[in-house]
């Protein structure tokens, strides 16, 4: 990668929130009535909100791989949960920023499908430091050696390869305090890159912080105990997957979100106190759509995490650089989390490598460019003929063969049905009016986009070995 250092490289903070509801930020015109996020709102007040932004998948591990590399993760077979991971051959944001002189740290969740041999560990992909956990979820409070239970996703956290325990702690606050300590350091003139990946507001939101439970009028929820038997069958399937009926589930989510928002406010305050606000770029996203089993609110969108309806892939996306591009604005441009990679490298004075699928968003932010950042975006589970989405212009083409019913007690129900669908999202954001039969030419054009993408992106299909050494009987 050619290095062309900027005159004054900005510090960078990348906030990645876990399973945040699309309507769960109070600055939005369609915000849920019960939500207040003054911390997040401060980022929006001095930056750009992209209203047409997407993750690269509706679940976290593939989506995080696409974010980290600026590339479609399907290129190396990371098509779904438990697939593909993050190969050592892939270049990441942190690796490029390291070459540009940044000191970097990842805090919180590192979920790259937990590959054998720890290939996807942050310290092997450009980060100088890591504090957090490598799993799809983690208990917010059970963080001691005595509480360690792999099946229940609880126990000590990791600090640069060493396991450290915490008593009477809560992960959101631990991660916030770790970030504050990092910002306070003297890096001897070097800029910093902080990737703060909270596990909030991912389940188990019923593991609450006492202060916020009190604030929201909640009683502590009973905690899993190994004497109850199998965690997944006897506990998680009921309370983590929505089969149980907790009338306070939404409040528990909001309490978890309130603690997260206070943490973000504390970090913003620290930047101001240290005189760093004017030269710190902030990017804020959710890793994928809001989850049904925590009662995240996706507002006008249909569906949720785990499916390719808009509620699964469309995400909140904020970009802020106070003192440089402080204009509060909302842009409808089609953008992707893959665009974060080239944007940050460009801001740092580098030239991103030419194998990226992402494109810088800076011309959009500066008003030098209008319209979409991509002609189209693709969502795929790695199959060339089924379970895919094409987003282009105002339209969305979707093929779904893996239908699924999502229910959360009596709170929520969404049936993700099989079929071929075409929607004009400009007029029908809620995906209610299927145009597939009435606009066959449009559907055909978009299907060709998908076919072209498959040829350019997916690994070549493995040829089947002929039986009997290739000889016919």
At a CB cut-off of 8 Å and minimum separation 6, what does 350 contact? 1, 2, 3, 4, 96, 97, 99, 100
Q: Can you tell me the distance from the alpha carbon of 89 to that of 70, in angstroms, rounded to the nearest whole number?
A: 14
Q: Compute the chain's Rg from CA coordinates.
A: 22
Q: Can you tell me the distance from the alpha carbon of 145 to that of 369, in angstroms, rounded to the nearest whole number?
A: 53
Q: What is the 3-state secondary structure (H, E, C) of 44-83?
A: HHCEEEEEEEECCCCCHHHHHHHHHHCCCHHHHCCCCCCC
Q: Can you tell me the distance from the alpha carbon of 222 to that of 93, in angstroms, rounded to the nearest whole number?
A: 41
DSSP assignment, residue 432?
-
Tokens linked to 392: 């282009």
Q: Write out the H or E segment, with its range, that includes residue 181.
A: helix 171-184
Q: Can you tell me the distance from the alpha carbon of 348 to that of 346, in angstroms, rounded to the nearest whole number?
A: 5
Instruction: Please spell the DSSP secondary structure of 266-311, one letter per residue.
Output: HHHHHHHHTT-GGGEEEEEEESSSPPGGGT---TTS---TTSSSHH
DSSP assignment, residue 155?
S
E strands, 39-181, are 47-54, 103-109, 129-133, 157-159, 162-164
Secondary structure class of 209 (helix, strand, coil)? coil
Q: Can you tell me the distance from the alpha carbon of 243 to that of 147, in angstroms, rounded to the nearest whole number?
A: 25
**Counting beta carbons within 10 angstroms of the beta carbon of residue 195, is it exposed (0 to 12), middle (13 to 18) or buried (19 or more)?**
buried
- Residues annotated catalytic, as ranges: 60, 111
Q: Can you tell me the distance from the alpha carbon of 94 to that of 106, in angstroms, rounded to the nearest whole number?
A: 9
Secondary structure class of 213 (helix, strand, coil)? helix
Tokens linked to 3: 């290095």
């Amino acid at each position: 990668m050619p290095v062309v250092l900027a005159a004054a490289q900005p510090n960078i903070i990348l906030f990645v929130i876990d399973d945040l509801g699309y309507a769960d930020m109070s600055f939005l015109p369609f915000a849920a009535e019960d939500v207040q996020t003054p911390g997040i709102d401060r980022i929006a007040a001095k930056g750009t909100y992209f209203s047409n932004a997407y993750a690269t998948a509706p679940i976290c591990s593939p989506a995080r791989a696409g974010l980290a590399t600026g590339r479609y993760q399907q290129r190396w077979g990371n098509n779904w949960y438990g697939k593909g991971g993050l190969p050592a051959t892939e270049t990441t944001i942190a690796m490029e920023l390291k070459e540009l002189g940044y000191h970097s740290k990842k805090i919180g969740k590192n979920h790259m499908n937990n590959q054998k041999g720890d290939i996807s560990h942050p310290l092997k992909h450009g980060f100088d430091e890591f504090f957090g956990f490598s799993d799809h979820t983690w208990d917010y409070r059970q963080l001691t050696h005595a509480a360690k239970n792999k099946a229940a996703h609880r126990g000590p956290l990791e600090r640069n390869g060493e396991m450290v325990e915490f008593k009477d702690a809560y992960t959101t606050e631990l991660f916030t305090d770790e970030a504050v300590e990092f910002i306070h350091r003297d890096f001897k003139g070097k800029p910093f890159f902080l990737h703060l990946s909270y596990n909030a507001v991912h389940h188990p939101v019923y593991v609450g912080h006492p202060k916020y439970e009190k604030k929201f009028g909640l009683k502590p929820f009973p905690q899993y105990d190994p004497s109850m038997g199998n965690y997944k069958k006897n506990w998680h399937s009921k309370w983590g997957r929505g089969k149980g009926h907790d009338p306070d589930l939404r409040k528990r989510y909001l309490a978890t979100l309130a603690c997260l928002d206070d943490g973000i406010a504390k970090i913003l305050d620290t930047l101001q106190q240290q005189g760093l606000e004017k030269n710190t770029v902030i990017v804020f996203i959710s890793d994928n759509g809001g989850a049904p089993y925590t009662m995240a609110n996706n507002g006008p969108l249909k569906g949720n995490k785990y499916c390719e309806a808009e509620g699964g892939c469309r995400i909140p996306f904020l970009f802020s650089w106070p003192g440089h591009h402080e204009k509060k604005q909302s842009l409808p441009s089609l953008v992707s989390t893959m665009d974060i990679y080239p944007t940050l490298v460009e801001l740092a004075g580098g030239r991103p490598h030419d194998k990226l699928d992402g494109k810088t968003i800076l011309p959009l932010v500066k008003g030098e460019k209008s319209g979409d950042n991509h002609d189209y975006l693709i969502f795929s589970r790695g199959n060339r003929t089924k379970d895919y989405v094409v987003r282009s212009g105002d339209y969305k083409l979707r093929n779904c063969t893996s239908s699924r019913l999502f229910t959360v007690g009596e709170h929520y129900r969404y049936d993700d049905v099989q079929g071929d669908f075409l929607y004009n999202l400009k007029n029908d954001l809620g995906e209610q009016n299927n145009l597939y039969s009435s606009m066959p030419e449009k559907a055909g054009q978009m299907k060709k986009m998908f076919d072209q993408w498959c040829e350019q992106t997916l690994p070549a299909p493995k040829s089947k070995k002929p039986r009997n050494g290739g000889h016919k009987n």
